[in-house]
Amino acid sequence: MRMEIARNVFWLVAERGFQVAFGIASVAMIARTLGPEGFAEFQYAQSLVLIASSVALICGNEVVIPRLVANDTPAAQHRLLAHVYGLTEIAALAGYVLLVVVVAMTEEDMVIVLVVSIIGVPMLLREPFGAVRSWLQARTDSRPGVVYCMLGLAFRMVAVSALYLAGMDSAPAFAWVIAVESMLIAALLARYYRQHSPRVAVHFDWQLAKQLLRDGAVFWVGLMLMLCAKRVDQLLLRPHISLFDLGGYSACMQILDNFMMLGAIVASSVAPMMIYAQPTLALVRRNVLYVAGGMVAVGTVGGALLAYCAPWIIALIYGDHFEAAADLLRLCSMASGLVFADAALSLLVIYLRKPSWLVEKWLLVLVTMVVVDLIAIPNHGARGAVYGYIAGNAVALIAGIGFFIRSREAIAVEQAA
């Protein structure tokens, strides 16, 4: 069993590694081709889509996978997955239509409207067909889903490279690459599931649908708040700075996001054995402190290196037109230790199955970022958004420490039992 878990974790971590490597390479080519202003439009459209896509996270893995594990009969699993697919597809369609209508009515830049319409297509596919990946994880066999995502990433690299070499400077053309990538992955997942699923008719069960919606509501709200916190800065920045400056800020945050993903990779790698497999909460809390200490060290050292190498990194990835991003990246890197520590402390919340704590945290983070951004951006421009980013991550860490302290109550309950 441990070997199966280790193999499953390996594939998930490998996927994250490919996402980081291919993501940096493809974004670099897009940025070099479109230039700061075109890249700003492209990234701003992606931010709008990312926030809107949170609507489709209505039935997450936290709700689906435990049910799949609890009832492993093929017919019951097929029935559950059919309902999950239907609910997420309806939510995704509603989110996509609302996004396109709102952007079309409020946005004067037609390039952004077009890119949002195209790059929003994955909203209709990623979460609904992600039900197949939940099914694979419940079977402790994520390999097929990871392989298909890697094939999608390979397609993206080839297509983006072709457009880059052809000198294509159209943001919608690159948006279509991302849309087609999602179609390819969805088709492969659907084909695999069809080959391994039972051929039984499924009738809609409103009672099951209500249970899925009710149980997933807290996780759903937490994820929406998290995604809003991750992208609200660009929405608040755009009215106050030029597209050229916004392009530099977007380039900085793109590098930072990929570096911070290292924290999630490390956390997901150590969690199965050091956290989830521990027999008592006391051992879990002790190991969380060990992991947090190690991740703070990794984040701080990595952030210092990132800050020191910022000019060379920006020049290597984005070229000569994004010099302003180097100073922003150097400033943002100061928050690396905060982000890595928060990723470690979040493992305790996941272990305790306290999604309401995550809602509290991300609500505090979002409010903090919005308040700081509204005060700092008009006076400091892009640097003001960086101040909001650092403040938000500081609040996330404070909330994580607060959750760690509150978890002592659970120890008292465990000992009493």
The contacts of residue 64 (CB under 8 Å, 6+ apart) are 80, 81, 84, 131, 134, 138, 212
Q: What is the pTM of this model?
A: 0.87
**Do residues 48 and 117 lie in contact, with contact meaning Cβ atoms separated by under 8 Å?**
no
Sort 299 into a burial class: Cβ within 10 Å, 0-12 / 13-18 / 19+: buried
User: Would you give per-residue pLDDT tens digits along the chain (417 residues)?
Assistant: 456 656 666 766 677 777 878 888 898 899 999 988 999 999 999 999 999 999 998 888 878 888 888 887 888 899 999 999 999 999 999 999 999 999 999 988 899 999 999 999 999 999 999 999 989 888 877 788 889 999 999 999 999 999 999 988 889 999 999 999 999 999 999 999 999 888 877 888 899 999 999 888 888 998 899 999 988 999 999 889 988 899 999 999 988 988 888 888 778 777 777 887 788 888 889 999 999 999 999 999 999 999 999 999 998 888 878 888 899 999 998 888 899 999 999 989 888 888 889 899 999 999 999 999 999 999 999 999 999 999 999 999 999 999 999 887 655 444 444
